Amino acid sequence: MSATATSQHDVLALAVRAREASHGLALATRATKDAALVAMADALLARAAEILAANAEDVARAEAGGTPSNIIDRLRLTDARLADMAEGVRGVAGLADPVGEVVRGSTLANGLELRQVRVPFGVVGMIYEARPNVTADAAGICLKSGNAVLLRGSSSAASSNAAIVAVLRDAVATAGVDPEVIQLVPADSHDTVKALMRARGYVDVLIPRGGAGLISSVVEESTVPVIETGVGNCHVYVDAAADLDKAVAIVLNAKTQRTSVCNAAESLLVHADIADLFVPRIVAALQQAGVRIHGDEVFAAQDGVEPATDEDYATEYLALEISARVVASVDEAIAHIRRFSSHHTEAIVTEDQRAARLFTAAVDSAAVLVNASTRFTDGGEFGFGAEIGISTQKLHARGPMGLPEMTSTKYIVTGDGHVR
Amino acid sequence: MSATATSQHDVLALAVRAREASHGLALATRATKDAALVAMADALLARAAEILAANAEDVARAEAGGTPSNIIDRLRLTDARLADMAEGVRGVAGLADPVGEVVRGSTLANGLELRQVRVPFGVVGMIYEARPNVTADAAGICLKSGNAVLLRGSSSAASSNAAIVAVLRDAVATAGVDPEVIQLVPADSHDTVKALMRARGYVDVLIPRGGAGLISSVVEESTVPVIETGVGNCHVYVDAAADLDKAVAIVLNAKTQRTSVCNAAESLLVHADIADLFVPRIVAALQQAGVRIHGDEVFAAQDGVEPATDEDYATEYLALEISARVVASVDEAIAHIRRFSSHHTEAIVTEDQRAARLFTAAVDSAAVLVNASTRFTDGGEFGFGAEIGISTQKLHARGPMGLPEMTSTKYIVTGDGHVR
């Protein structure tokens, strides 16, 4: 923390340095980029002591400030977590280079050769909260996709992030990549977030990662194009034609396997035709797993179920808590989802092909699953190898974002003196 | 023009009606959508008298208000222009339906079947100026791509647009499509533009088409995601290894074939090694074609060439006017383009493979052409069949936007009781 806070001018200066360096990175071969990624992974391990010492400062500051223990847990780095971080970056070296991929191509009637080719965005801004591992993840993904990156982490992780960025910058330099492609934006004041949001022309895309408040404020205020990530009020709809064993397993997994993540289920819809059989069974199973249930009249008739309000249906609990409701039809389930969903992930459990087809066509979310847990909406599960976030918006990228989603395209058109 | 201007509430009400209707359109088959498009084209011809009468009102108002004749020409409809408009809409019926296209698909290790499928955005807002043909074009493209559309044209074309929208709504209804998918947003006040820009959650994407002022104000002020279109400060770079005959033909075509369009050339860069030979030749050719030249010292040494300022290099003339400069190398040409380009289209004229490769890799524009006129950056020329605009931004779509660019995607994941 410095005495004088970082100004907008300072942030733009970082962006200008990132832009300058991005020109070289955009032309770097995959071999160069992979060597830099391996050097980054090696350096995270070789200089672990330095990073852990910096992290200990952050943790001590958080403890002194009375930060809740679950937040401190997310902030804390260990040898094991550093090793995971390094493996994540090393893994990106093994992935295909999206830059230069020909998305489409043809020869036009007049002989012009047309190719649409993936190219880096240029300069990416990341704005994120607590976890310092995002610093290394984002740096690795941006480097492989040919983008310079401005990293604006949380002030609570300022020392950790500074140490990680110092290590990564040194590492890429040993591989012949300009270290200015990785920039740490000081977290000494909220003004640096504002500066990023106003850096149109300097920053090509902003990706906020964190809580709903952070994301909505960036989306509302930024003049830089934003990719919206993460908020997930995800539904599981158990259809009249569901296999109830599969339904119980999917609902439990979607709600309880990990509660703090955006692809966890937050709301359960059950077709009226099976409510008599299924409601008592799923209530018992959820309660046994420690889940608090907010239900409609049918659910609330069960012991221990609290009555649900519209606010419950709209809530992303991120906890052992779920809203639940009986619906008269697939159409009513779809209408409920239209009203309350955050358009992240919804699942239907059914053995009826017609119901599955209608649900997947009509539900307008980033991912729609049939007979599978909402927890599968994830770059790792989808086989992308790396994930920068899960987009819940419709422009550019929707759903888990891997390396190709971190690129734009351009058309390269080759002629031989062609004129119109 | 109404006595009380349309309020934000009114615009949101239109968006809500569009959203409701969009659900059905998203599920409509290609056959239904094509029937609606053919009905739209037929109706534009069958009800030509009505549309022309409304247009005559707009033209009379513009003339009475002293509007310049070139603007009135853009506003004026004729039987021939209406026929073109109808043919444009009919042509969209012949194009492939982007909705449902599987962009990628695989079966994961655990047996989950993954498909990424094109889906409509939902509700598209178009904000555009003078030409009433955009009304029919945009309605046709949005309908085929499964999107409801809010059309906010210019107040100068209010009567024409109202007549065209009335005809199109009637036509789609005859084909079984809810006419609420096409909405005219009143142009009685700038507040309706503001309302569209603030309609986040109601409108999925805004596409402004028109002058630089309109586009930049929408980009700066909108909280709805925007696709930026159109401004083109396009360069032609004539390399040391250029075929000078091709170079003259390309520069003349790019500058003079049509001057009012975004893909016309606005700036000429010439390699120093050929300046002695090429500069006098191209100056003579441009001057013979009536082009005013703003040049650096080398160009300004020729008769009739005015000295260029940085402002000239940054100007999109959209007229028989060009800036011109000699550069020492391909790298200097690239650096000049980085500084002044609007990232729309740049061309290199060269027979040197190395120079072409460097230029196409390093120039970060929507389209980069080799030995071809900048005028080819166009959806029609690229074979897209229809074009909603030319994106000059990096998110989502870049370059000419056809039907696929008017869609988002979603993941459909099918399992058999899969849990993590």
Question: In this complex, which of B362, B410, B420 lies closest to A368 when CB atoms are compared?
Answer: B410
Helix (H, G, I), strand (E, B) or coil at A144: helix
Nearest to A411 among B27, B399, B412 (CB): B399
Residue A219 has pLDDT above 80, yes or no: yes
Contact criterion met (CB < 8 Å) for A108 and B382: yes
Is pLDDT at A221 greater than 60 in this prediction? yes
> Can you tell me whether residue B206 is helix, strand or coil?
strand
Asked if the model's pLDDT at residue A130 lies above 80, the reply is: no
Give me chain B's average pLDDT, please: 95
Reported ipTM: the value is 0.94
Q: Tell me, what's the pLDDT at A214?
A: 87
Q: How far is B308 from chain A (nearest CA, A)?
A: 25
Question: Per CATH, the architecture of B234-379 is what?
Answer: 3-Layer(aba) Sandwich (3.40)
Average pLDDT score over residue span B72-94: 95
Do the beta carbons of residue B259 and residue B319 sit within 8 Å?
Answer: yes
CA distances from A117 to A407, B103, B132, B397, B398 (A): 10, 16, 34, 12, 11
Closest to A375 (Cβ–Cβ): which among B204, B227, B420?
A: B420
Going by C-alpha positions, the residue among B134, B257, B133, B142 that lies closest to residue B203 is B142
Q: Is residue A165 pLDDT above 60, yes or no?
A: yes
A367 and A344 in contact (C-beta within 8 Å)?
yes
d(Cα A395, Cα A228) in Å, to the nearest integer? 9
**Averaged over B14-21, what is the pLDDT?**
97
Q: Which residue, B137, B129, B141, is CA-closest to B215?
A: B129
d(CA A373, CA A253): 6
Mean pLDDT across A295-313: 98
Residue B230 has pLDDT above 80, yes or no: no
- What are the chain A neighbours of B419 within 8 Å (beta carbons)? 249-250, 252-254, 257, 372-373, 375
Cβ separation A410–B122 shorter than 8 A: no
Domain boundaries, chain B: 8-228+397-414, 234-379
Contact A166, A59 (CB under 8 A): no
Sheet containing strand B205-209, edge to edge, reads: B182-184, B148-152, B123-128, B205-209
Report the percent of chain B where pLDDT is more than 90.
90
| B136 min Cα distance to partner chain A (Å) | 24
**pLDDT score for A4:** 62
Residue A368 and residue B411: Cβ atoms within 8 Å? yes
| Yes or no, beta carbons of A23 and B362 under 8 Å apart | yes
Mean pLDDT taken over chain A: 95
Supply the pLDDT for residue A303.
97
Q: What is the pLDDT of residue A3?
A: 47
Give yes or no for residue A1 having a pLDDT over 50: no
Domains A8-228+397-414 and A234-380 share a fold: no
Q: Is the predicted pLDDT of residue A5 greater than 80, yes or no?
A: no
CA-based nearest residue in chain A for residue B413 = A369
Helix, coil or strand: residue B310: helix
Of A114, A205, A361, the CB nearest to B27: A361
* Per-residue pLDDT tens over the stretch A318-366: 999 999 999 999 999 999 999 999 999 999 999 999 999 999 999 999 9
Compute the distance between CA of residue A30 and CA of residue A27 in angstroms, rounded to an integer: 9
What pLDDT is recorded for position B7?
84
B2 falls in which pLDDT band (50, 70, 90)? Answer: very low
CATH code for residues A234-380: 3.40.309.10
CA–CA distances in Å: residue B309 to residues B108, B282, B295, B298, B338: 59, 20, 8, 14, 17
- Distance, in angstroms, between A257 CA and closest chain B CA? 8
Inform me whether the pLDDT recorded for A24 exceeds 80: yes
Q: Are B298 and B326 in contact (CB under 8 A)?
A: yes
- Report the percent of chain B where pLDDT is more than 70: 99
Determine whether domain A8-228+397-414 maps to CATH 3.60.20.10: no
A160-188: average pLDDT: 97
Is A377 within 8 Å of B409 when comparing Cβ atoms? Answer: no
Say what the pTM is. 0.93
The answer to whether B364 contacts A122, with C-beta atoms less than 8 Å apart, is: yes
**What pLDDT, on the 0 to 100 scale, is given for residue B4?**
62
CA distance A49 to chain B (A): 35
Name the pLDDT band for B362 (thresholds 50, 70, 90): very high
Task: Report the candidate in A266, A195, A271 with the shortest Cα–Cα distance to residue A237.
Answer: A271
Q: Is the pLDDT of residue A6 over 80?
A: no
Q: What tokens does A89 get? A: 């970056």
Mutating which of A376, A388, A392, A407 best tests the B interface, going by the most B Cβ atoms within 10 A? A376
Nearest CA in chain A to B391: A410
B327 vs chain A: nearest CA distance in angstroms?
20
Does the structure show a pLDDT above 80 at B387? yes
| Contact criterion met (CB < 8 Å) for A112 and B413 | no
Token digits of residue A244: 């109830």
Q: Kindly state the percentage of chain A with pLDDT values over 70.
A: 99
> Which residue from B376, B381, B410 is facing A365, i.e. has the nearest CB?
B410
Pull the structure tokens for residue A228: 């919206």
**Mean pLDDT for the stretch of residues B142-158:** 97
Residue A140 has pLDDT above 50, yes or no: yes
Average pLDDT, stretch B32-40? 98
Q: How far B416 CA lies from chain A's nearest CA (Å)?
A: 5
